[in-house]
A and B are shown apart, each in its own frame.
Chain A
Amino acid sequence: TQLLEQSPQFLSIQEGENLTVYCNSSSVFSSLQWYRQEPGEGPVLLVTVVTGGEVKKLKRLTFQFGDARKDSSLHITAAQPGDTGLYLCAGSGGTSYGKLTFGQGTILTVHP
């Protein structure tokens, strides 16, 4: 069974601060995705990383996939209140059709 451990579970910071969310597993994933979910909505895909060591940037967000494809991180620079939400990592690779294994999620609150 593939499991993803996500940390921290809760993060409460002030506007302008930087933060990092971690996603770790003992299993290898063929790809890893990061989602953001707002209350009452479904998860929305932010990025997919597929190559070990890959780094992707999306404005103030930087995503990294570990060399061994077992872990990933999401770094947000100069957080803004609009970044508030639930961040989820999800791995695929256990099946041929892309079933996702999600981490527990990180609830981020950015205070103005």
Chain B
Amino acid sequence: GAGVSQSPRYKVAKRGQDVALRCDPISGHVSLFWYQQALGQGPEFLTYFQNEAQLDKSGLPSDRFFAERPEGSVSTLKIQRTQQEDSAVYLCASSSIVGSPIPVTFGSGTRLTVV
């Protein structure tokens, strides 16, 4: 597609519920990132995929967070037993190359609210 597509745009979950957030990167992009952005703050790194390999998951806040990219394209971020502190915007970004500096394209994000 023309850009990075994320769905759903908004998700309201009851505390304790499991959620799955989807990211469709730009076709052919090798690198895929997930970031978490709290209200009024800058994004914080969660995890990185190079094709289907998850090379860095150091930013995942707990073992309730799990990400996958099984075929090297679409990625899913799953949060189990959601808690109120998980409320944030979850951003996905992709890039066609590996290395620094890299131009990444961000999606519009999924706003998760845990009630």
Residue of A nearest to B59 (CB): A99
A42 cross-chain contacts in B, Cβ below 8 A: 4, 91, 93, 106-109
The reply to whether the CB of B18 lies closer than 8 angstroms to some CB of chain A is no
Give chain A's interface secondary structure class.
Answer: loop
The reply to whether the CB of A98 lies closer than 8 angstroms to some CB of chain B is yes
A50 cross-chain contacts in B, Cβ below 8 A: 101
Q: Interface-forming stretch among A12-20, A71-79, A101-109?
A: A101-109
Size of the A side of the interface (Cβ < 8 Å), in residues, is 29
Size of the B side of the interface (Cβ < 8 Å), in residues, is 28
> A97 contacts B45, CB within 8 Å?
no
> A102 contacts B40, CB within 8 Å?
no
Would you give the 0/1 interface string for A65-96, flagging 1 where the beta carbon is closer than 8 Å to chain B?
Answer: 00000000000000000000000101011011
A33 cross-chain contacts in B, Cβ below 8 A: 101
- Which 4 interchain pairs have the tightest Cβ spacing? A42-B106, A102-B42, A31-B101, A98-B102
State the A residues within 8 Å of B (CB). 4, 6, 30-31, 33, 40-45, 48, 50, 88, 90, 92-93, 95-105, 107
